[in-house]
Structures are given as structure tokens and as C-alpha cells.
Copies of this chain bind each other. A is one copy, B any other.
Amino acid sequence: MTTRADGRSARGDRTRRLILRQAVRIAAAEGLGALSLGRLAGELGLSKSGVFALFGSKEELQLTTVRAAVETYVECVVEPARGLPPGLGRVLCLFGNWLAHSEQRVFPAGCFFYSVSADHDAREGKVRAAVDTAHTDWFSLVERTVDEARRAGEIREDTDIPQLAFELVALLEMANAESVLHGNVSCYRKAADGILARLRTAATDPSWLPDTL
């Protein structure tokens, strides 16, 4: 009995992951409004009732999709940087990962959060709140990571941290937008050069910084 139940649960988990991967892909390309239990069942050759049993409602599906995208993002971008000690190295790792993540199209349609942020189908309610929280968390993480570098003595004490974080994130977002909307990839080099220039101005020892990110 136990084995059979575990087998079922493992199968359920696999199916759930399979569905969420597809859901993140659809939402990144077409917006959260394009998600439906029926479409996912059809595209993956599953029964609609099976998909319904796992997610219950369209809103629940959308919320779980946002959470799944956050998890992928944390895994690809945030965790490798958290593995390094606080300081400029951690800052560089965070932004380098972000650009690589966007350029390599971990989400094929570009940054999931860029795509769903301007999503006219998801402007209100719990889904909007989940997207907003993800965005705010990311911004706070950037500020915290830059401030840690200041406290480690690698960024000048008088640096305006919220201003620097704003300028750094602006460069990331611009690279992603240019690449998604215009297929322009030179934007990643421009963003990386801009980030290094900003950090060079703020660093206590600019010579420590590499020439390219």
C-alpha cells in the first residue's frame, strides 16, 4: 500500500512539474491570461480532470506558475551568488547570472517577470500581488547585496545604495526588453559595460573590477 501510494504521489509530482514547466513557458510568451487548465491538458496529452485535480482553478494555476518561475529564478540567478561571500564578487555574480539567464532564454520568451508585469490580463487580484511581491523581493535583494558590499568595505561608504540599485536594475531590464522586442543581442554587452562602469564609480578599489562581466 505504502509503495503504491508513494508511486502515485511521485507520478503526481512529475506531472505537476511537467505542467508547470509548460505553464511558465506559455505565460512568458503570451501572458498569464493565456493559461488555462484545458489548454495545458490538450498540449500535454493529459486529461482535463487530471490537471484540474492538481490545480483546482485558473487562479490557483496562475499563482503556482508565478511561484514556479520564482523558484527557477532563485535557483539560476540568486543561489549561485549567495554561495559567494558578501562583497563585489557576489554583486558581479548576481548581475552576470541575470544577464546570462536572460540571454540564454531560460524562459524562451525572455524574462518571465518582464513579460507578465506588463500583462494587461493580470492587472488585479492575487495574481498581480504575487507578481508585485516577486518584483519587490528582487529589488530588495539587489539593494541588500550592494549594501553588503558596502559593509564589506568594497563599495564606498557614501554611496547612495537605492540610487545605485535603481541604475543597475534599469540596465538589466533594458537589455532584456531590447532583446525580447527587437532581437537585438548587443544590448547584453551594453548592459554589462554599464553595470561595470557604475560599480567602478562606487568601488573603493576600482582596479579590482574585471574589464568584462
A71 at the B interface (CB under 8 A): no
Residues of chain A from 157 to 203 with CB closer than 8 A to chain B in the complex: 162-163, 166-167, 169-171, 173-174, 177, 181-182, 187, 190-191, 193-194
| Interface-lining segment among A11-19, A43-51, A113-121 | A113-121
Cross-chain contact of A173 among B31, B174, B191 (Cβ < 8 A): B174
Q: Which of B34, B166, B171, B177 contacts A117 (CB 8 A)?
A: B177
Q: Provide the main secondary structure of the chain A interface.
A: helix
- Which of B120, B173, B174 sits near A34, CB closer than 8 Å? B120
A135: Cβ under 8 A from any B Cβ: yes
Complex: chain B residue closest to A162, CB-CB: B190
Of all chain B residues, which has the CB nearest A171?
A: B170
- Interface: A132 (CB within 8 A): yes
Asked if A59 is at the interface (CB within 8 A of a chain B CB), the reply is no
**Interchain CA distance A198-B181 in the complex, whole Å:** 25
A30 at the interface (CB under 8 A from B): yes
> Given A163-B190, A190-B166, does the pair A132, B174 have CB atoms closer than 8 Å?
no
For A128, give the chain B residue with the smallest CB separation: B181
Inter-chain contacts of A120 with B (CB < 8 A):
29-31, 33-34, 115, 119-121
Mark each residue of chain A from 130 to 141: 1 if its CB lies under 8 Å from any CB of chain B, else 0.
001001100000
Pick 13 A–B contacts, CB within 8 A, sort by A.
Answer: A34-B120, A114-B118, A118-B119, A118-B177, A119-B120, A132-B181, A135-B181, A162-B190, A166-B174, A167-B194, A170-B173, A170-B194, A173-B173
- Chain A residues with CB under 8 Å of chain B are 29-31, 33-34, 114-115, 117-121, 132, 135-136, 162-163, 166-167, 169-171, 173-174, 177, 181-182, 187, 190-191, 193-194
